[in-house]
Structure 1
Amino acid sequence: MGSFSLVGTAAFLVDIGLFNLLSATVLGDKPITAKVASVAVATTISWLGSRYLTFRRTRGRSVAAETVLFALTNLVGLAIAAGCLYVSHYLLGYDSQVADNVSGNVLGVLLGNVFRYFAYRYVVFTEPKERRSDDRERQDA
């Protein structure tokens, strides 16, 4: 849990920093685009930290399989954060920088991280079922 938090904090700082930079400059009128871009960069950092630090002992899939599962998991996490931002910004009309940060970078990231943790732990960085079964059979023999 500690290394997950460390990796998550680094990715979060990149996400929030880049989101605010983009929102204050080139993507000022496009908060969803800014969020997608910031999450894409933060996801790369999260992938490296998760693969080589947090879940280094529980990896069992090929790099390609883990990458696909990681990307899909992060797309769902992004959808959660962008959904919170969309509802706040466009449906509720809270369109200030502070409101965008609260909805996208606090509530959205929090909910997305809860989903990501369980997905990483139980789906992405785990051995496939057939490999675990083979290991158990060898131990029983």
Structure 2
Amino acid sequence: MATTTASEPSLAQKLRGIKGEVVKFGIVGLTGVIVNAGVFWVCLKATGPINSLSGYIATSVAIGTNYLGYRYWLYRDRDAASRKREITLFLIFSGIGMLIENGINGFSVHVLGYDSPTSQLIAKNVIGLTAGTVFRFFSYRTWVFKALPEVTPEPATESPAAHATTAAAVVAQAELVLAAERVRLAKAE
């Protein structure tokens, strides 16, 4: 009797599998970059505390814009059962990304002495944003917008009673998902 085992996909196969996700993530991210750069540039023209906090203000506005894109376009098919947990993790990881972004800008201004608006724009929105984006991509897809668990088919060698138990569990899980979706749709109306 020959048995076959499923082999683990290679790294190249995994990377090919997330290509569409990376493209959509980039589109949402590009929207955020445009919002971030626009708000940052406007805040740099102000005087006083707004100028000093311009990076944080711009990133905060972009975080809000990006959450909407990620939740309702890119990751709309992901598990949304615990929205409070999702938003909390999103804000935590976005905050870490903001610190990466603005930390690079602060290093550029205060350590390297590049304090012109153009050099700040490059430090924050090119170098810092790139580093922050890589961090955000992997943290969002791994911890924030979790994929729904895949149901693995049971082998055909089971007894009919075991198959009925498995089928009942799948039906129960599907009913829970549908009930959660009805609640979500009712709240949206």
What TM-score range do you get, normalising by the shorter chain? 0.7 to 0.9
State the shift of 1:4 in Å: 1.0
Counterparts of 1:1-141 in structure 2, within 5 Å, are 1-27=22-48, 30-31=51-52, 33-127=53-147, 132=149, 136=151, 139-140=153-154, 141=166
State the distance in 2 between where 1:102 and 1:39 align.
15
Q: State the TM-score, normalizing by the size of structure 2.
A: 0.65
Q: Which has the higher helix share?
A: 1
User: Are the equivalent residues in 1 in contact too, given 2:32–2:65 (CA < 8 A)?
Assistant: yes
**4+ residue segments displaced more than 4 Å:** none
State the distance in 2 between where 1:26 and 1:93 align.
19
Structure 1 unpaired stretches of 5+: none
What whole-Å deviation, never above 9, does each CA across 1:24-68 have from its counterpart, x for those lacking one? Answer: 12458844x100001111000100000011111123441111000
Structure index of larger Rg? 2
Structure 2 unpaired stretches of 5+: 1-21, 155-165, 167-189
Instruction: Classify the secondary structure of the residue corresponding to 1:35.
Output: helix
State the distance in 2 between where 1:44 and 1:59 align.
20
State the distance in 2 between where 1:117 and 1:27 align.
34
User: Are the equivalent residues in 1 in contact too, given 2:43–2:50 (CA < 8 A)?
Assistant: no
User: Are the equivalent residues in 1 in contact too, given 2:75–2:145 (CA < 8 A)?
Assistant: yes
Structure 1 residues 18 and 62, CA gap change in structure 2 (3 angstroms): same
Which is bigger in relative contact order (C-alpha 8 A, separation at least 6)?
A: 1
User: Are the equivalent residues in 2 in contact too, given 1:14–1:38 (CA < 8 A)?
Assistant: yes
**Number of equivalenced pairs:** 134
Instruction: Classify the secondary structure of the residue corresponding to 2:36.
Output: helix
Structure 1 residues 27 and 118, CA gap change in structure 2 (3 angstroms): farther
Structure 1 residues 15 and 27, CA gap change in structure 2 (3 angstroms): farther
